Chain A
Amino acid sequence: MSAISPNGVEEHPICLTLNGQRRTLQVNPWTTLLDLLREQLDLVGTKKGCDHGQCGACTVLRDGKRVNACLTLAIMCNGAELVTIEGLAVGDVLHPMQRAFITHDAFQCGYCTPGQICSAVGLAREGRADTREAIREQMSGNLCRCGAYGNIVAAVEEALPLMTDLAQPQRGPNP
């Protein structure tokens, strides 16, 4: 049920799982998932690049699938299971994709990196990238203005075979 907040603005409750934790939140209908994460929940790992679905910096995993948080209304995430870059590592143990990005120096300024890594995890789960060429094509929704593309493709290529046991959505440190 919607409610009107003290300042006269429509708010709705939503229930979702965020990085393994169940959360109940109040959101305005026009709040994007990206603004919810960054402004309301202080999860600033997910980045706002273009805010128009053109750069991929805001990529998160929704029910295991990569999506642009900037074009997702938070209110439409009721019941969703979300994983952000903050939820990929288990304690101090990095996700294989995070390790591969470090190994291959797959970033320079790092701004696009959380989106690149979440996108690459989504790509691995889709199971459709069997060549370097396919990885390049299927990472095309993530721009890197530093131009680290070569190393990003190498990192994704290395991590793909390590992720065969990760078919289920990832859990955060406190499942």
Chain B
Amino acid sequence: MTPFSYHKPASISEAVSLAGASSHFIAGGTNLVDLMKENVVRPKRLIDISGLGLNGIHLTLNGGLLIGALVSNADLAWHPMIEQHYPLLSDAILAGASPQLRNMASTGGNLLQRTRCYYFYDTGTPCNKREPGSGCPARTGSNRIHAILGASDACVATHPSDMCVALAALEAVVHVQGPRGERQIPFAAFHRLPEDTPERDNQLAVDELVVAIELPPPEFENHYRYLKIRDRASYAFALVSVAAALKFDGEVIQQARLALGGVAHKPWRDPVVERMLAGQAPSEALFTRAAQTLLQDAKPLSHNGFKVTLAQRAIVRALNDAAYGAACWRARP
């Protein structure tokens, strides 16, 4: 690791006043410490935010939840309110990483983890995300795990989080604080597509700190599914994942949310597809049409064409599981 200075501020305002282009906040450290060992990230100053008391989970006035940025992934997944009212989020978190990492990793940090693109991690190769303007070897190289939607000539990396796919489907809101005060960012606007500036993963300024994640009032406790497809049964990043959440009015889908992981630079949603599902009775034909529409603009690379078919099948299965309810698919062998 390249040497750095260490600071542990006692307040949010002190933390953001220490922040800048050559500094980095650290919470759980599960991704950042690894990136620092690989010299992918070399902060001159590390700002330890673990003393800022952002560890609470509170009910909001409108019946939602405000989750402190420092709540660990494990504590969040197993919190009674999350398990009972936001089971999609609980399942997504538990599908990611390992128990050890989930004990360490923070809620805010999960949003800010970097892509696991091999070239981003390998400082011996060019990478536009790591060194803007240096090139993207993944476009023509080993790109089996890379994006099929929303990529650019500059970058075909994917966002690696499972938790964020559920947060996108649930339309969470990211609360951030900086020297200019607080602001709230809708989840869909938080992460960005690579375009020609892939070095920026999200809309945060360098001196802004994620302080909390807000969940709207629960709507999808009964009909939900987080389905993750990966190269081994556990402890691997998603090739494709699907967060599906449905709300029924009798036999008819009143509202649908559908987000994909492992396919783009951010959790992928398509409002057109979600509207297509609303007002319809669930059927294999409807779900197949939704899956085809969601992937109609997919542009696979040389080694990841399989992801298009895989994503379509995973969407149909996740929507079916969501429609029949957790009691059904959990009992299935």
Contact = CB atoms under 8 A, between A and B. Distances in A.
Interface of A: 2, 9-10, 12, 28-30, 32, 51-53, 56, 59, 62, 65-68, 71-73, 75-76, 119, 122-123, 126, 128, 136-138, 140-142
B98 interface: yes
Contact of B100 (A28, A59, A128): A59
7 contacts: A10-B5, A29-B3, A65-B103, A73-B26, A73-B33, A76-B50, A141-B100
Contacts of B100: 53, 56, 59, 66-68, 119, 122, 141
Given A2-B5, A65-B74, A140-B99, 10 more contacts: A10-B5, A30-B3, A52-B34, A53-B98, A53-B100, A65-B103, A73-B33, A76-B26, A119-B100, A128-B78
A119 B1 CA distance: 27
Contacts of A73: 26, 29, 33, 46
B48 interface: yes
A73 B46 CA distance: 11
B99 A66 contact: yes
A57 B3 CA distance: 25
Contact of A9 (B3, B6, B29, B33): B3
Contacts, number: 88
A62 B48 CA distance: 17
SS of A interface (majority): mixed
A68 B99 contact: no
Chain B residues touching A, range: 20 to 34
Given A51-B37, A76-B50, A66 B103 contact: yes
Nearest to B75: A65
Interface in B39-76: 46, 48, 50, 74
3 smallest CB-CB distances across A and B, nearest first, come from A141-B98, A140-B234, A29-B6
Nearest to A69: B100
Interface of B: 1-6, 26, 29-30, 33-34, 36-37, 46, 48, 50, 74, 78, 97-101, 103-104, 233-235
Nearest to B72: A65
A152 to B, nearest CB: 14
Given A2-B6, A10-B5, A141 B235 contact: yes
Contacts of B3: 9-10, 28-30
A29 B235 contact: no
B33 A126 contact: no
Contact of B101 (A2, A53, A75, A76): A53
A126 B99 contact: yes
B49 to A, nearest CB: 10
Contacts of B98: 53, 56, 140-142
A49 B180 CA distance: 44
Contacts of B30: 53, 68, 71
A159 B99 CA distance: 19
Nearest to B34: A52
